[in-house]
């Protein structure tokens, strides 16, 4: 069955702050799949429509990382990031074709890849620092790929956004800020959605 393709990621399920349904159901439910699709769509919509205007290259990663980490906390399944990434891509395509929004090369790259990168980074993660490190690493990784995509667009003269900075001055700043923004976005999402320490059961707590 298709639901067997998405087994529970036990480390995420135990550490999640949001009491995921996966703790009681080993097979993925339709509700979980809908939640993942909605989180991917939310990431794409937020990236398209919200302008933080911080003036820091790479800061938009927070708009895609947080909704997708929320999705992992609600439905901690293997390949959950892939589902959210596919949903984000479909939503971004719909928004672009309808003329509602335009996505830069860096934004669309990080949006589509952050989910699959989260899957890879958290495949063996458990609670504690390894889980946090996995999410932070995924944020950095997705933003560095976005940095490469944006740099290529600039070098090829395809960066058509307003107020385009010269490549040399942009690159010197972006190599630092893209890394930091990816790390900060991942850390914020990890702290909001997952516990650092494994929550003790009531029986264990009563025995002390």
| CATH label of the domain that carries residue 9 | 1.10.1760
* pLDDT in the model for residue 6: 78
Q: Which two tokens mark 17? A: 């702050």
> Would you give the DSSP letter of residue 84?
H
Tell me if 142 is assigned to some domain: yes
Contacts of 40 (CB under 8 A, 6+ apart): 67, 68, 71, 83, 84, 85, 86, 87, 88, 91, 115
* pLDDT in the model for residue 156: 83
At 57 the three-state DSSP class reads coil
Tell me if 89 is assigned to some domain: yes
CA distance 208 to 197: 17
- Helical spans, DSSP H, in 57-199: 61-74, 80-97, 105-121, 129-155, 167-193
Q: Which two tokens mark 115? A: 């989910």
* pLDDT in the model for residue 204: 41
* pLDDT in the model for residue 205: 40
**What's the average pLDDT block by block, 10 residues per block, for the chain (208 residues)?**
70 81 63 94 94 86 95 92 96 92 86 95 84 96 94 79 72 94 96 78 41
Contacts for 152-155: CB closer than 8 Å, 24+ residues apart: 152/105, 153/104, 153/105, 153/106
* pLDDT in the model for residue 142: 95
Tell me if 204 is assigned to some domain: no
Tell me if 208 is assigned to some domain: no
**Residue 80: which of 123, 21, 139, 143 has the closest Cα?**
123
* pLDDT in the model for residue 207: 45
Tell me if 57 is assigned to some domain: yes
Instruction: Report whether 90 contacts 137 (CB < 8 A).
Output: no
Rg value, the chain, Cα: 18
**Parent domain of 149:** 2-199
Task: Provide the number of structural domains found in the chain.
Answer: 1
Tell me if 119 is assigned to some domain: yes
* pLDDT in the model for residue 20: 63
């Amino acid at each position: 069955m298709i639901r067997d393709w998405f087994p529970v990621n036990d480390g995420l399920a135990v550490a999640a702050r949001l009491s995921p349904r996966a703790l009681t159901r080993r097979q993925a439910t339709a509700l979980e799949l809908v939640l993942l699709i909605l989180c991917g769509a939310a990431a794409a919509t937020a990236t398209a429509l919200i302008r933080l205007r911080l003036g820091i290259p790479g800061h938009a990663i927070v708009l895609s990382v947080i909704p997708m980490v929320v999705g992992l906390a609600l439905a901690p399944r293997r390949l959950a990031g892939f589902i959210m990434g596919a949903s984000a891509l479909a939503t971004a395509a719909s928004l672009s074709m309808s003329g509602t929004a335009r996505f830069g090369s860096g934004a669309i790259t990080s949006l589509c890849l952050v989910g699959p990168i989260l899957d890879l980074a958290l495949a063996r993660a458990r609670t504690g620092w390894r889980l946090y490190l996995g999410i932070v690493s995924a944020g950095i990784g997705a933003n560095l790929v976005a940095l490469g995509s944006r740099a290529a667009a600039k070098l090829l003269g395809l960066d058509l956004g307003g107020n385009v900075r010269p490549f040399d001055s942009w690159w010197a700043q972006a190599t630092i800020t893209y890394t930091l923004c990816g790390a900060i976005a991942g850390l914020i999402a990890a702290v909001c959605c997952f516990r650092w320490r494994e929550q003790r059961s009531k029986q264990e707590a009563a025995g002390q």
